[in-house]
Amino acid sequence: MRIAVIHGPNLRLLGTREPEVYGTDTLDDVNRRLTEAAAGLGVEIETFQSNHEGEILDFIEKAAPRVRGFLINPGAFTHTSIALLDAFLGVSRPFVEVHLSNLARREAFRHHSYLSGAAVGVVYGFGVQSYLLGLQGLVARLGGR
Ligand code: DQA
């Protein structure tokens, strides 16, 4: 079973970006921990990061035929992108939405997600652990370990 992990805008800056909000792990650290967790769950992952909405849409379309589902931290596109929602609806693949920070404790504009209503589930507030819990939930939903 193969799963694609998508990191949205500004997540390449992890480690130095507002560490009091997002922690000190880098994106490489997150991907390494995901790869280890995936091995334990008996699944393969591929990771992708982009700051560009269109590139993420293209990636979803291209990756969909080879993956069973998506794990995504859409970054700020969470709160703005109907196109991202439509991309997931269009490829008919389950996805889990994750965020490092606890969106409910932050600014009001971060309380709404265009994606959540179509996601299998949403995990936020646990830092890197959000990704790992999200992966676990997605794999379970897909019938894996
Ligand atoms: C984020 C939360 C978003 O509101 C923000 O724009 C991000 C990161 C998170 O992981 O907590 O870029 O998705």
Summarised one tens digit per residue, pLDDT across range 120-144 is: 999 999 999 999 999 999 999 999 7
Cα 81 to middle of ligand 1, angstroms: 13
Q: How far apart are CA 49 and CA 44, in angstroms?
A: 17
Bridge partners (DSSP) of residue 126 are none
Q: What is the pLDDT of residue 144?
A: 77
Q: What is the mean pLDDT of residues 103-111?
A: 97
CA distance 106 to 104: 6
The torsion angle over the Cα atoms of residues 99, 104, 110 and 114, rounded to 10 degrees, is 70
Give CA–CA dist 9/144, Å, rounded: 30
Q: Is the CB of 10 under 6 A from ligand 1?
A: yes
Ligand 1 pocket test, pick from 49, 73, 123, 132 with the greatest ligand atom count within 8 Å of Cβ, gives 73
Q: What is the pLDDT of residues 12-25, one digit of tens each?
A: 999 888 898 898 99
44, two tokens: 């393969």
Q: For residue 99, which atom of ligand 1 is closest to its CA?
A: 10
For 71-98, the pLDDT digits (tens) are 999 999 999 999 999 999 999 999 999 9
Helix (H) or strand (E) holding 62: helix 53-63
pTM, entire model: 0.96
Domains, the chain, with CATH or none: 2-141 (3.40.50.9100)
Nearest residue by C-alpha to atom 7 in ligand 1: 75
